[in-house]
Amino acid sequence: MPDYERSETISASPDHVYDYVSTPQNLAAYVATLRSVDPLPGHRLRVAAEVDGRREEGEAEFAADPAARRIDWHGSDRSRYRGWLAVAPSGADAALVTIHLSTETGDERQAIESAIVDTLSNIRAQVGASSA
């Protein structure tokens, strides 16, 4: 399974950033490929994404750990897609956000890396907009 990881420092408190990214209703606003998210019972979500020009829908597991400021997710058994996002303090009133993804194929490396960059950019824009 290929792994992808990228970090970015965001000028906002780690708690504020974590509160935003760990709220399932915010996922479609910041995850570059997501178009809709509907919470299901337990730690499950029904998601729709735009991937390589095609719409994909399915269920995903989404687990938030406030003490570690970390969220973990994985797609349905057939997708073999998983990842985590962690928020750590980084200096005065700043947060280091790290996204890690594991996928079943390495064929989409550039698209995945671009989506991670876009997602981090969206988090920065949304957290800045919501804290103003």
DSSP letters for 17-59: HHHHHT-GGGHHHHSTTEEEEEE-STTEEEEEEEETTEEEEEE
User: What percentage of the chain reaches a pLDDT higher than 70?
Assistant: 89
| Per-residue pLDDT at 109 | 84
Q: Is residue 117 part of a domain?
A: yes
Q: Is residue 127 part of a domain?
A: yes
Range of 20's domain?
3-32+62-131
Q: Are 37 and 46 in contact (CB under 8 A)?
A: yes
Q: Is residue 53 part of a domain?
A: no
Q: Over the chain, what is the mean pLDDT?
A: 88
Most confident of 21-25, 53-57, 103-107: 21-25
C-alpha distances (whole Å) from 78 to each of 39, 58, 93, 113 are: 20, 10, 40, 22
Q: Is residue 25 part of a domain?
A: yes
Sign for the CA dihedral angle at 56, 60, 64, 68 comes to: negative
Q: With cut-offs at 50, 70 and 90, classify the pLDDT of residue 129.
A: low
How many CB atoms neighbour CB 52 within 10 A? Answer: 9
Number of separate domains in the chain:
1
For the question of whether the overall pTM of this predicted structure is more than 0.85, the answer is: yes
- Give per-residue pLDDT as tens, 10-42: 999 999 999 999 999 999 999 998 899 999 998
Higher pLDDT, 76 or 100: 100
- The CATH number of the domain holding residue 87 is 3.30.530.20
pLDDT at 44 exceeding the cut of 60 = yes
